[in-house]
Amino acid sequence: MFKDKLVSYSGVQPSGNLTIGNYLGAIKNFSAYSDKYMCFYCVVDEHAITVRQVPADLRRRTYETLALYIACGLDPEKNTLYVQSHVHEHAELAWILNCFTGFGELSRMTQFKDKSAKHADNVNAGLFTYPTLMASDILLYQTDVVPIGVDQKQHVELTRNIAERFNQLYPDTFTMPEPIIAKSGKKIMSLADPTKKMSKSDENTNAVVYILDDKDTVIRKFKRAVTDSDTCVRFADGKDGINNLMTIYSCFTGKEFDEIEREFEGKGYGDFKLAVGETCADALAPVRAKFDELLKDKAYLEEVMKNGAETASYVARRTLSKVQKKLGFVQIGR
Ligand code: TYM
């Protein structure tokens, strides 16, 4: 076993501008593992092409997603930051895992059902087998923990089922990964329809706060957020809009809901929305500044990608060759 530390692994698709959902549900939580774990955080460009991408946009967003990882506090010296397509073992293990995954299991995946409804003109096989590529990402690194938002939980559960099935046939192959889902921030909702997840692919840009939105834009979007006809800031059933804003405020300030309720007692929604907008914009300002600086230095970002790919490939190669040996593929020691 290559491991002398536990492993944390996660990924983000460079398929759109990243949102505060991606930040609060996932990226912000990645750095919690940097000191004690061996951390791999991937820009999953191969996952992104299950939906048609404009090549120039995909390329730009790949740099941007890597830059955002760093701007959000992930030090490339302490975390392996890399791009999925730079490590060919992902696609190779995914093929193998496809042969250990049921058609029925994949058909039950909520994300597949949602995306195939949304992109009915392009329900490709990659969209269907997306979860086995994700299982491959996770299992290649003998991952212990996978910090994710709640929407990815089903995929990690499938990964566990595949790993268990494989380990039963070929003992001691894969580490069993645990999904780590933040208590608060696991599902940030759309500002326009708070019953729907905030998503980077939402066409209504007012529904989504992007990590890179400037202060005025962030405040304007929160001011317009859909709430309800009540006036009292409290967390309760049926108050999806306010519940979402309270969750966002709580994630950025660390305050509990009862504390927030006390803070805004006797104040209206207008004051509350302004406070959420200002807090969010101020928290993201240093991320934006660091991002702008990083994006000017492509050579540095490419250096991070190269170093990351080298470390990731080393680990991935070891797991893949272990799997290939167990399956009976002939090894010719090249
Ligand atoms: P993606 O790119 O859709 O999202 C990246 C991460 O952000 C989380 N997230 C949210 N969390 C809270 N509220 C939201 N509104 C919200 N929107 C997104 C997601 O849960 C995710 O953690 N399949 C994955 C990428 C992936 C991956 C992996 C993740 C590929 N391989 C291996 C973990 C491990 C995806 O599409 O994430």
pLDDT in tens, 184-212: 999 999 999 999 999 998 999 999 999 99
Atom number in ligand 1 closest to CA 189: 15
Amino acid identity at 35:
D
Distance CA 105, CA 114 (A): 15
Which residue bears the tokens 């405040």?
A: 219
Inter-residue contact 31 to 72 (CB < 8 Å): yes
Distance CA 334, CA 183 (A): 47
pLDDT at 2 over 70: no
Query: What's the DSSP call for residue 190?
Result: P
Percent of the chain with pLDDT strictly greater than 90: 95
How many whole angstroms from 221 Cα to the centroid of ligand 1? 23
pLDDT in tens, 115-156: 999 889 999 999 999 999 999 999 999 999 999 999 999 999
Query: What's the DSSP call for residue 223?
Result: H
298 is catalytic: no
Domains with residue ranges and CATH for the chain: 7-181+298-327 (3.40.50.620), 205-292 (1.10.240.10)
Partner residues linked to 210 by β-bridges: 19
How many whole angstroms from 147 Cα to the centroid of ligand 1? 9
Residue nearest to atom 34 of ligand 1 (CA): 10
pLDDT in tens, 266-314: 999 999 999 999 999 999 999 999 999 999 999 999 999 999 999 999 9
215 is catalytic: no
115 is catalytic: yes
Main-chain dihedrals φ then ψ at residue 260, nearest 5 degrees: -65, -40
How many whole angstroms from 149 Cα to the centroid of ligand 1? 6
Q: Where are the beta strands (DSSP E) in 171-285?
A: 178-181
| Residues sharing a CB contact under 8 Å with residue 154, sequence separation 6 or more, in sequence order | 109, 110, 111
Atom number in ligand 1 closest to CA 149: 20
0.85 exceeded by pTM: yes
78, 113, 186, 200: the catalytic one is 200
